[in-house]
Chain A
C-alpha cells in the first residue's frame, strides 16, 4: 500500500510539473540524511524562481529544470545545499544536519521566529525528548532539559502532573504556575490530559521580552506547546508506540524503630510523665495499658523491666506489623498510541489516538485515559489558509484521595502508626491474624473488643484508613475537549490577518462515597457528588506585516485578545444509604448539603510588536501590551512593554578568520509582565457569603476586598552569550537574569482582632536573579560510536526589597533583605544534660528588629527550656537551593542508544515535618524514628535528642531548627535504552522504523534522609503524609510505516 500511494503521489507531482514546464528536463532523485534515512518533505526549488517541489515519503522528488539551473535543497534543521543541474537526470543528495541548529524555528508569542533572530530566552523540548519516556504528563520531560526551571515532583497518584517554577518565585502568594499555551491559545486543562506523542515541541519562554506579549498571565513564564501537524505533499505515515511498565515507589518511607525499641522508648515517655518513687515500676507494669497492643510472647505487664529494657524472653509473635505491605503493591502501566499523518498539495492532516492505563503502587489508586486529536490545515485560496484541531481526552481516576491532615489519609495513617501495631486484628495470645467466617482478614480499627481481650489503641481509635480506603469509593471522571480554529488572510504580500479562536472545556464528576462501617461515613454511609464544568474561551485577532528594504527587515504585529473563563459547579452531599454498592445520589436519603455557584474571569488585551534586523547581524525587537482584568475594581488596566536586541558576532567580518568559533551571539532584553492572581477571581471585592441559620437566609463577612488592588508587575533583565565552538562540537549558552517583581499581590496577615485574618494588598517588591549555564559537548563522534554530554546548572537567589511590615508566614518570616523562603523558627540549642530538657536559644525584639539574640552575662547565647519563652529567630537557612541542574549522557553505538538523565540540587534546607512527626515527645501509639534511640535517659547523658515525656509540649516543637535538613540531592531521573532496526532490515520487512526500548523514570533519589522528598514543595515543608512519587520501569516498541 505504501508503494502504491507514493507512486500515485509521484505521478501526480510529475503531471503537475509537466503542465508547467513542458520544455524542460526532468530531474529525479532522493534526498536523505547522513545516516541514509530518507527526508520526506524536504524542499527542492529552482533558484531564482518560485518553482519547486518537496520530497515524498521516501525522500524522492521529481522536478523540471533547465540544464545549468541551480537547485536548492532545504529542510528544517539541515544545512541547505545547492546543486547545479548537469547532464545527469538523477541527483541524489545527502543533507547534513545543521549542528548549530541556527535555522531552527522557535515558537514565540503569537508567531514563530528563527533561533538566530530570537532576542529572548527560551528552552525547547522536542518530540524526540518525549517519545521514549513513560510519562503521563508531558511537562515532566522539561525537567533537566531547561535551565532555570525548578521542578516539584508529581504525586504518585496515577495521572498526576508535576509543577514547574520558571526562574524563581516572583510572587508572595505562591502561585507559580506558568501560562500554558497550546496551539496559540491559553490552556487551562490538566497537562496530564495531553498525550505526549501528540507534541511536536514545548518551548519554555523565560524572560519578559519573550513573554510580555502575553501580558498579564505571563509573570511566571510561558510554556508554549505545539501539537503535531501533518506535512503537506507527503505520503501517509503511521507511527505507533506501545509501552508496558511496572510501578513501584520512587521514594522509600521514613525509617522506624522496631517493636522492641518502640516499647523501650515508650517506657521512657511514660516513666518521665509520672512523678514519685514508683514511676519506673508503674511505667514498666502498666505500659501496655497505655499502648494497648502487645506483639510479644510475654505477659502484658512484663514487656519491659523497671529499667525500661525489653524482656530478654520477649519474642515477636505478631504475624504482621507492616502497614506499608498492606498499603502498597506493584503497580502497572500500559500505554498505546498511534497517529497517522500526511497531506496533499494544499492540505495536511494529523490524527492520533492513545490509551493509558496505570495502576499506582498504592492500593485502590488507578488512572485511565483515552485521547484523540485531529488536526488539519487547508489552503483554501491563495490568500486564505484555514486550519484547526479538535481534541478529546477522557480520564478516570480512582482514589484513595490524599486527605491532607485527615485521619483518613492512608499515608499519614501508615506512617504515624507505631511499630507495635498491626493493620489487622491479631489474636492477643498467639499473635496470629484473626479471620472472619469467610476466612478473610479483619482490619484492626483500634477499638476495644472485650470478648477477645483486645484493648483500644491510643491513636486513631475507631479508625483504619486502609480499611476505609478499600471500603470507600473515590472516583473522578473528567472529559476534556477543545478545539482551535485559525484563519490566515494574506491581503497583500507581507500583510497578513490571522484569527485564532479556541475553546477548552472540562467536565468533571467527582463522587466520593464513605462507607457505613468505619470512618466518617459511619453509621449510615454518606455520599458526595461534585460536578463542574469549566469553559475557557480565547480569541486572538492579529495583523502582521513584514517588509524588506535592502538589508533592513521589518516585521510588525498588531493584535487584540479576549479571554473568558467560566467555572460552574454543583455539589450535593447526602447520608443514609439505601442499598449498598450504588454510588448515586438517589441511593441516599438525607440531604446534608446542596450547593452550586459559578465564577467568571475575563481578560482583554491589545498588543503590538516590531521586530527589526539589519543584515542578519543586528536584531532589535520591541513590544507593548495593554491588558485589562476583571479581577480588579479601580485599576483594571495595566501596560507592559519590552525591548530586546541581539548581535551575531560571528557574522562580523573581523570574525572571518577565527575558525574555531562557529557561532557567537550576544543578546539582551528587558521587559515587563503583569500578574492579577491572588487565589480568587473576586479578591478585590469585599464580600458577604451565604450562610443560612436553620434555614433562614443569612450571610457573613467573608472577605475584606480591596478596590485599589492593582497589577503586580514583574520586570526582567536578561543577557546571554550563545556559542558554538570547534565545528559546534561544543555549544551552549551562558545567561544572567534579574527579575524584579513589584506591587506584589498578597493576602496580608492582619491582626485577627480585626475580625479577618488577611486582607489583599499590593505590598512589596522582591527580585530573583540567577546565572544559567547550558553546555553540550560531543565528546566522541565517530561512525559507530558517539557520546554526547549535556550539563545544565542554574543558580537561584531571591530577596525581598520592600515590605511595609514584616509578616510571619508559617515557618518563614518576610522582611526586607531576606528571601521569602528564609526560615524563622524556634532555635533548637540541644539538650540539657542534667534533665534532658530541650533547649532553645532566646531571641527578643529590639526596636522593631526581631530575632535579636538574648545574651548571658558572659556573652554566650542564652537558652530556655520553653520555646514560647525563647521566641523565634532567623535560622540563617533558606528553602531555596544554591544550584540546580542536570547532567545528560547520551551514547550511541551503531543502532543502540543509551541516555541517562541525572538531576541535582545543591544547597537549600528543608524543615522536615515528616521526620519531626516521628521525633515527638512520646505520644502513645505514634511512630518513632530510629534517631529517637539517642534520647536522653539519665542525668549526664550527652545527646541531641531530648528526653521523651508524654504530654510535654516543650520537647519537640515542630517549628524548630532541629528539623532543618540539607535539601541537596542527586536523582537518576531517567534512563533510556533503545535499539533501532537498521534501515536495510526495516526496508525488507516493509516498514520505515522499528525501535525497541526500555525506560526508567525516577530510578533513584539520593537525599539526606530516607523518606524525604526534597522536591515536595518550594517552601521546604514536606508533610511526610502524601503519595510519594513513583518509579516507572517500562519497555516499549515504536514502529513507523
Chain B
C-alpha cells in the first residue's frame, strides 16, 4: 500500500514537473521585428525609411498587393502607357496593353489602380507613424532626427501628390474647392476607420504643409545617405512638382531652380548612356537596384527597354511618336535615342508593316533589311530573337543588354526641373525668364538652340511641351502633363495603331472627359465606411 502511494506520488510529480514554464508560450519571429522596436529610436526609424526607399522601386511586398506592381518601376512606364507617350508596337505579351487601350485605369477592379493607391497610402501611413511617434516622444533633436522627419514629411507630400493628381480631377481644370479629393488620413494604425474624400483643395493644403515642413527639416538635417534618400534638393523638386500641378507658378519656378543646384545637366555621352544608373550627374532622386534585389521581369527596364531579354521586349519594342521625333533638329543629339529606320521585323507589328522587307516600306531587299537589324543588335546588344521597329527607343539601355540584369530607376533629374522653371515662368508671362530657363536645357542638347525663336507664351509653351515629351520620354510624366495642359490624346500621326490602341487612340481633353480620372479601387469603396459606389469617379 505504501509502495502504491509512493508510485502515485511519483507519477503525479512527473505530471506536475512537465507543466511548462511561463515563457513557454512567448514566441517571436526571426525575419521581422516588432513595431515598437522599429519606431523606438531614430536609428531604427532610418531602417523604416530604407524600407520605403526600396519600396519606391522594389517588387511589391504588401499583403494583399501584387508583386508585379513594383512601385515606380511599374508606375513610371505605366503612366506613359496611359498617357500615350511610349507607344507599343505590337500586342506583345500583354503587359500594359490595357493601360495603353484605356481599359485598365477606368476599371475600379483594376490591379494597377489598387496597387498604386495602396502603395502610396502605405507610404503615407508609414510616414505618419514616424512623424506622430516623434511628436509624442522626447528624442533629442539632432541632424539625424531632422533628416528622418524631413524625409517622412516629403514622402507624405509626394504620395498625396501622386494620389490626388491621379484619382481626382486636375487642379487646373476643375473646381478644387468642391471636387472630391482623396481621403486625408494622417493617423496611422488602429482603429482603422477610414476617411471621406474631402476636396482637392484640402489635399493640396496638406501637401504644402508637409513639403514645407520637409524642406525646413532637411535644411537643418544630416546629408542624404545616397540618391535613394530624399535630399533637400529632392524635396524642393517635389515642391516644384506640386506647385506646378496646382498652377502655383512662382513657387514652382523658385523650387525647381533650388532643386537642381549641384546637379549639372547631362552631356551627350551621358545622355546617350542608357539612363540606367542613378550615378548620372543630373539625377537628383532615384533607386539603385542591385543583383540580390532584382525585380526580375517586374523591373522598369522590362517595361521600357528594347534590350531586356523578356518576351515583352522581344516582341514589343516601345516607340516614340513620329510627330515628336520628326521635330527633333538634326543637331540635337537626342535624335540618336530613337531609331526611325529600324527594320520592322515583327510580323505581328500592329501597323501591319512588319515581317520582312516586303512589308516594311523603308527597305527594298532582304540583305539590307537583315543587315539593319544585325547592326542594331550588335550596337545596342540584344538577341536575334529581339524584334526591331521604326522609331523604337534606345534611350533606355541595359547595363548588360540581352539579359534580365538589373538597372536603376530614375525618379527626378535636373532637366525636369529646368522645364518646370521654364513652364512656370512662361505661365507667369515672364518671357525672358522662360527663354533663359529653356536655354539651359536647349543649348545643352542642341548647340544650335536659339531661345529667341520663342517670343510668346504660346510659342514657349509649345516648345516646352515638346521638350518635356522628348527629354522626359519614358520617365512617366506624359499622363499628368496632358491633364495640366488640358490636352487630348490623338495618336493619328504618332505611328500608334488604331487596331492596337482602340479607345486609347483618341481621348477627348481632360476638362471634358472624366476618363482621365482613375477609378478609386473597389476595395477602398468596399472597406471605407465613408465611401459608397456614389463616391466613385
Query: Which residues on A are within 8 Å of B, measured CB to CB?
Result: 273-274, 286, 289-290, 292, 383, 407, 447-448, 450, 453-463, 489, 491-492, 495, 497, 499, 520, 522-524, 539, 541, 543, 558-560, 562, 575, 590-595, 597-604, 606, 628-630, 636, 681-682, 685-706, 749-759, 805, 807-808, 844-845, 868, 871, 924, 950-953, 959
Contacts and interface: CB of A to CB of B under 8 A. Distances in A.
Contact of A752 (B352, B498, B521): B521
Given A290-B499, A700-B61, A868-B536, 16 more contacts: A461-B348, A462-B310, A463-B311, A495-B8, A539-B18, A597-B31, A688-B37, A688-B38, A693-B51, A695-B293, A700-B126, A751-B194, A751-B524, A752-B521, A754-B125, A845-B534
B315 A491 contact: no
Contact of B315 (A289, A462, A495, A951): A462
B138 interface: no
Contact of A691 (B55, B352, B536): B55
B103 A953 contact: yes
A862 to B, nearest CB: 14
A543 B14 CA distance: 11
A688 B123 CA distance: 14
B51 A462 contact: no
Contacts of B26: 630
Interface string B460-487: 0000000000000000000000000000
Interface stretch (B91-99, B169-177, B247-255, B421-429): B91-99
B492 interface: no
12 contacts: A448-B347, A448-B354, A455-B348, A456-B90, A461-B92, A491-B4, A606-B19, A685-B34, A698-B49, A700-B52, A749-B523, A951-B103
A74 B24 CA distance: 48
B298 to A, nearest CB: 11
B28 interface: yes
Given A462-B315, A752-B524, A562 B90 contact: no
B186 to A, nearest CB: 11
Which one of B312, B347, B503 has the highest number of Cβ atoms from chain A below 10 Å of its Cβ?
B347
B93 A463 contact: yes
A524 B315 contact: no
Contact of B8 (A273, A290, A491): A491
Contacts of A706: 190
A286 B348 CA distance: 11
B277 interface: no
A805 B532 CA distance: 14
Contacts of A758: 63-64
Interface stretch (B114-122, B144-152, B237-245): B114-122
Contact of B61 (A448, A702, A750): A702
Contacts of A697: 47, 50
Interface in B7-52: 7-8, 11-12, 14-15, 18-20, 24-38, 44, 47-52
Given A523-B404, A691-B61, A455 B48 contact: no
Interface string B280-299: 00000001111111101100
A523 B403 contact: yes
B488 to A, nearest CB: 17
B19 A694 contact: no
A450 to B, nearest CB: 5
A702 B355 contact: no
A289 B109 contact: no
A221 to B, nearest CB: 25
Contacts of B107: 868, 953
Contacts of B309: 522-523
Given A593-B292, A694-B228, A699-B33, A845 B532 contact: yes
A706 B4 CA distance: 50
Given A688-B48, A756-B63, A701 B126 contact: yes
B106 to A, nearest CB: 8
B103 A447 contact: no
Contacts of A686: 34-36, 189
B458 interface: no
Report the interface size class on chain B. 35 or more
Nearest to A590: B291
A877 B318 CA distance: 46
B321 interface: no
A868 B519 CA distance: 10
Contacts of B62: 756-757
Given A458-B91, A688-B51, A751-B527, A448 B355 contact: yes
A756 B125 contact: yes
A23 B106 CA distance: 100
A506 to B, nearest CB: 19
A448 B345 contact: yes
A457 B91 CA distance: 9
Contacts of A691: 50-51, 54-55, 58, 61
B15 A560 contact: yes
Contacts of B226: 694
Nearest to B159: A755
Nearest to B352: A289
Contact of A700 (B27, B55, B90, B499): B55
Contacts of B310: 462
B371 interface: no
Contact of B28 (A458, A499, A682): A682
Nearest to B91: A458
B34 A687 contact: yes
Contacts of B31: 595, 597, 689-690
A682 B36 CA distance: 15
A433 B499 CA distance: 31
B165 interface: no
B166 interface: no
A541 B296 contact: no
B519 A753 contact: no
A950 B356 CA distance: 27
A485 B53 CA distance: 53
Q: Which 5 A-B pairs give the minimum distances between C-beta atoms?
A: A462-B311, A755-B125, A698-B50, A455-B347, A700-B51
Given A491-B7, A808-B526, A705 B94 contact: no
A543 B15 CA distance: 8
B353 to A, nearest CB: 10
A699 B346 contact: no
B108 A868 contact: yes
A541 B117 contact: no
A754 B186 CA distance: 9
Contact of A462 (B34, B52, B93, B345): B93
Nearest to A497: B11
B385 interface: yes
B314 interface: yes
B73 interface: no
B383 interface: yes
B58 to A, nearest CB: 7
B477 to A, nearest CB: 24
Nearest to B32: A687
Nearest to B347: A455
A539 B36 CA distance: 34
A356 to B, nearest CB: 36
Contact of A447 (B24, B48, B314, B402): B314
A604 B117 CA distance: 43
B11 A756 contact: no
B185 A753 contact: yes
B355 A699 contact: no
A603 B24 CA distance: 8
A842 to B, nearest CB: 10
B50 A950 contact: no
A562 B30 contact: no
B509 to A, nearest CB: 20
B462 to A, nearest CB: 31
Interface in B517-536: 519, 521-524, 526-529, 531-534, 536
A562 B20 contact: yes
Contacts of B498: 274
